Amino acid sequence: MKFVHIADIHFDRPFVNLSDRATLGDLRRLAQRKAFKKVIEYIKENDISYLFISGDLYEHKYVKQSTIEYINNLCKEIPNTQILIAPGNHDPYLKHSYYSTFQWNDNIKIFSSKIEKIEGQDVDIYGYGFDDFYCTDSKIEQLEIENPDRINILVSHGTIDGSSLGEKQYNPMSRKKLEEKGFDYIALGHIHKPDYQTKMVYPGSMISRGFDELGEHGMIVGEIQKGKIDLEFVPLDEEEFKEIEIEITNIYSKEELIEKINEITIKDNEFVKIILVGNRNFEIDSYDLIKYMENDRIIKIKDNTKLAVELTKMTNENTLKGLFAKKMLEKLSKEDMTQEEINVIQKAIEIGLESLL
């Protein structure tokens, strides 16, 4: 039996904080559509029996009916493929959601919060879907496989061995307990990084949402027989997000920094975030710097530098600059300061020292 496993597509996601460039969110939404088309074309060309979509197919809050119609129409192009959708925390099976009210194509099965079993040729497929934005007790761990001699597959969305309070709000499941069930394959979603080293598989997000999701993104292609499984990760996202650090301790002007950044070699399929590190010798405005980038593949600049000046030495000077340094040190020495307050004072030090030169 051949299958394709995808998850975490997040159709119509806003991509609000992705970039300092206004159009990138629109480009990423177009990339979502392109990647999904690739999935459908792959299924057409390779005689795939099942498509597993393990949650977060779309963003409930933002998804448009035209997007739902687009998804459904593409699914009509593979009528011989059974499509099994397990709603997740971003696309729960709510009373008034598109999962409930839209007329989906005949080859699409949408699981609800009541665990169901779909019988195929030599295979039983169990599925569970979120019916709310949180799920703390899906009862999957109480599930008993009815026929162990058949291929048994579970399709769901959630976290394996989650330890934090946040992780435990999204269908927490024990790896040990799932292993004891005897599933031949567990098609999961929710974790956006691919993980397919065991039978509990996360394909990762189909395209990258930004710099918190570096590396390749795509789908899992599998062929399974009882007691044997072959898995392959197939990239779908044509773009890749990359971070590049620049040490600026020995850079002494904004102009010199701009030149250094513009000298970086960047591939045509990369979106790049520049991370500035080291000790800064001049005031840095990340939002201003982005305007001077010659390569529009540089979409974000983050300032992780520290102030280079030694205020303690300056306090010994009998000058206005020395008095200013004493006052700033007094402010920095206060207890229980937040990082935001420290950043504001450091910025004030930069501006003040520059005006006193």
Largest alpha-carbon pair distance within the chain? 88
CA distances 182 to 150, 262, 287, Å, are 11, 55, 53
Q: How many helices (H) and strands (E) does the chain have?
A: 9, 18
Of 120, 121, 116, 122, the C-alpha closest to 86 is 116
Predicted local confidence at residue 236, as pLDDT:
97
C-alpha span between 129 and 163 (Å, rounded)? 22
**Are residue 275 and residue 293 in the same domain, yes or no?**
yes
The residue out of 183, 201, 235 marking a domain boundary is 235
Predicted local confidence at residue 18, as pLDDT:
67
Predicted local confidence at residue 187, as pLDDT:
98
**Are residue 222 and residue 260 in the same domain, yes or no?**
no
CA distances 337 to 309, 332, 342, Å, are 20, 8, 7
CA distances 135 to 60, 61, 88, 119, 257, Å, are 16, 18, 9, 26, 48
Domain count, the chain: 2
C-alpha span between 281 and 253 (Å, rounded)? 8
Predicted local confidence at residue 22, as pLDDT:
62
What CATH number is attached to the domain comprising 72? Answer: 3.60.21.10
Q: What single-letter DSSP state applies at residue 297?
A: T
The residue out of 216, 235, 254 marking a domain boundary is 235
Residues of the chain predicted below pLDDT 70 = 17-22, 308-310, 354, 356-357
**Are residue 276 and residue 128 in the same domain, yes or no?**
no
The residue out of 235, 253, 283 marking a domain boundary is 235
Tell me the residue range of the domain where 330 lies: 240-356
**Are residue 70 and residue 217 in the same domain, yes or no?**
yes
C-alpha span between 127 and 123 (Å, rounded)? 13
**Are residue 338 and residue 222 in the same domain, yes or no?**
no
Strand-by-strand arrangement of the 185-187 sheet: 116-120, 123-127, 151-155, 185-187, 200-201
**Are residue 137 and residue 276 in the same domain, yes or no?**
no
Which segments of the chain are extended strands (E)? 2-6, 50-53, 82-85, 108-110, 116-120, 123-127, 151-155, 159-160, 172-173, 185-187, 200-201, 218-225, 228-235, 240-247, 270-277, 279-280, 298-303, 306-307
Predicted local confidence at residue 289, as pLDDT:
93
Cross-strand pairs, 83:
51, 108
**Are residue 131 and residue 230 in the same domain, yes or no?**
yes
- Distance of alpha carbon 242 from the chain centroid: 14
Residues 6+ away with beta carbon under 8 Å from 116: 126, 127
Start-to-end Cα distance in the chain: 74
